[in-house]
Amino acid sequence: MSHSAFRPHPMTTTPGPSPSTPSPTAQAVAWLHTARFLTTAPRLEFLPVAGVPEIAFVGRSNAGKSTCINKLTQQKRLAFASKTPGRTQAINLFTLGKQGITDALLADLPGYGYAAVPKADKYRWQEVMANYLMTRESLRGVVMMVDPRHGVGELDEILLEVIRPRVEQGLKFLVLLTKSDKLNRSEQNKALSIAQLQSGGGEVKLFSALSRQGIEEASLLLYQWTHPETP
């Protein structure tokens, strides 16, 4: 039999259509949806040693931090908003990563500045937060939630001073102006301009869980922070 009989028909070697590659933003949004609860730590010594980049979420009580985390991760109750803001004084860690492989952590730090918390508890927790922000080696970025109707407050400015040395050394920093749907366009622009002057070199974005403003932008930033090899 001739060897030519074993030649495949040209049509059988034609490759099928290649699947479309998702956009960087779509990749980031899908990645954040993988968030899962890992552990809670009332003090720094209870935090596991992280071999992957970590992003911390901070903000005053009632600034919309839990809502922001839940909206970014597309989950309703991943971050739990206490009925008594400021009472829960522990760091909650969440894993991120596709196919069960953790490639980053989210750290949810309790809201600060709630009046009903005893002074001794406030000072203790402020010390824990400051130590975390200054010494956590795996920390790659900080996201601060600010209600633009009130602006960057005194406690926010104290936190900015705490992280300023690390920001100057390359720590990523983002201010999310939450509840931006409650402002008209002119008010949004004004709040954005003021916050940019106060952000200490960080980025500032308008954000609304209701209108979905800023969700994709913030998602892409967080992905790029933890995956610097991506565009």
Convert the pLDDT of each residue in 123-151 to its tens digit: 777 788 889 999 999 999 999 999 999 88
In contact, 23 and 107? CB cutoff 8 Å: no
- Note the pLDDT of residue 9: 45
For the record, the structure tokens of 161 come out as 């001073």
- Note the pLDDT of residue 52: 96
pLDDT in tens, 164-193: 999 999 999 999 999 999 999 999 999 999
The segments of the chain whose pLDDT lies below 50 read: 1-14, 16-18
- Note the pLDDT of residue 114: 67
Cα 84 to its chain centre, rounded Å, is 23
Domain ranges of the chain: 22-226
Give the three-class secondary structure for 108: strand
**Whole-angstrom Cα distance, residue 222 to residue 174?**
9
- Note the pLDDT of residue 207: 95
| Crossing angle of the two packed helices 119-135 and 154-168, in degrees rounded to 10 | 20
Task: Say which CATH superfamily domain 22-226 falls into.
Answer: P-loop containing nucleotide triphosphate hydrolases (3.40.50.300)
